[in-house]
Amino acid sequence: MTDTAENRASLIAVVGATATGKTRRAVAIARKTGGEVLSADSRQVYRRMDIGTGKDIEEYGDVPVHLVDVCEPGEKYNLHRFLRDYNEALADVRSRGCMPVVCGGSGMYVEAALDRLRLPEVPRNDALRQTLAGRTLPELTEILSGMKALHNTTDVDTVDRALRAIEIQSYYKEHPEEDFGSKTDPEKDALIIGIDIDRDTRRRRIDERLKRRFESGMTEEVESLLAEGIDPENLIYYGLEYKWLTLFVTGRISRTEMEEGLRIAIHQFAKRQMTWFRGMERRGHTIHWLPWDMEDDDFVESVLNLARL
């Protein structure tokens, strides 16, 4: 936010690693301010992918939420589509005089939204894909690393992701006249709240939540998606829970391998989330970090003071 005392927050964003209670906090803020939540999560956009993505729909209650359940499993939702949907939802929320409360752990989505990033859609390049057909993931990773710095390891989680990343970088190189990545109208009075949690507690909460998700039917959720006819490779593409559970359900790995691999992957993901948010701070975004275990009333009061509401 700008430093002038008269400026109130025009938007509140709640960010942090997985399993830190972001949704509950965002809902509490929205309820107190008469606001609405805009989800900035790259996987909660998919319908019927509920347990694995941690939608926690019951936490919203009567608070409206946008950008959840907006496309079908098997589709390839991306940053371009998110920015289009986000800008439409943001305009809708503001047209009714409501406070937008952005909530998410997908740092790239959050930062792009706050920067109002301009990101034209990159079309599929079948000719390029033919030249790369049969390349292994390490080979594709090497090609991509020669085109850009690999800050985001999800670009090379799978062959499909690596191919798409190469496709995008090739398009950027071939179309220098297009101003990719420009910031059209960054949010000048956005208040960013970070959920601060120590590493050991974060790891414990991740393990506890993973256990609850298994007990709630997360494996059965993946089985149901596969029974619909969704390509297993599309679920693997989504990573984390859907990658590891699909590998298990389709018989490629054992339950022990799945559970341990998934646990490690989520811990690594949480670490990458925090790395992104720290990077946002270096890139000029001020994040106000509040303790994860504050009482809800105290947390909301602190946010309202920071927002000058």
For residue 90, give the amino acid letter: L
Q: According to the model, what pLDDT value does residue 180 have?
A: 56
pTM value surpassing 0.85:
no
The whole-number pLDDT of residue 172 equals: 78
Amino acid at 218: M
Alpha carbons 119 and 284: distance in angstroms, whole number = 20
DSSP 8-state code for residue 154: G
pLDDT of residue 16: 96
Q: What pLDDT score does 6 carry?
A: 61
189 CB-contact burial (10 Å; exposed 0-12 / middle 13-18 / buried 19+): middle
Q: Which residues of 118-149 are buried (b: 16+ CB within 10 A; e: fewer)?
A: ebeebeebeeeeeebeebeeeebbebbeeeee
Asked whether 60 and 87 are in contact (CB, 8 A), the reply is no
Q: What was the pLDDT predicted at 4?
A: 47
| d(C-alpha 102, C-alpha 104), whole Å | 7
Which of 247, 239, 294 has the alpha carbon at shortest distance from 272? 239
* pLDDT given at position 155: 58
pLDDT of 181: 57
pLDDT tens track, the chain, 309 positions = 544 446 899 999 999 999 999 999 999 999 999 999 999 999 999 999 999 999 989 999 999 999 999 999 999 898 889 999 999 999 999 999 999 999 998 999 999 999 998 777 788 899 899 999 989 988 888 998 888 776 555 556 678 878 888 988 888 788 775 655 555 668 889 999 999 999 999 999 999 999 999 999 999 999 999 999 999 999 998 999 999 999 999 999 999 999 999 999 999 999 999 999 999 999 999 999 999 999 999 999 999 999 999
Closest C-alpha among 46, 152, 167, 161 to residue 108:
152
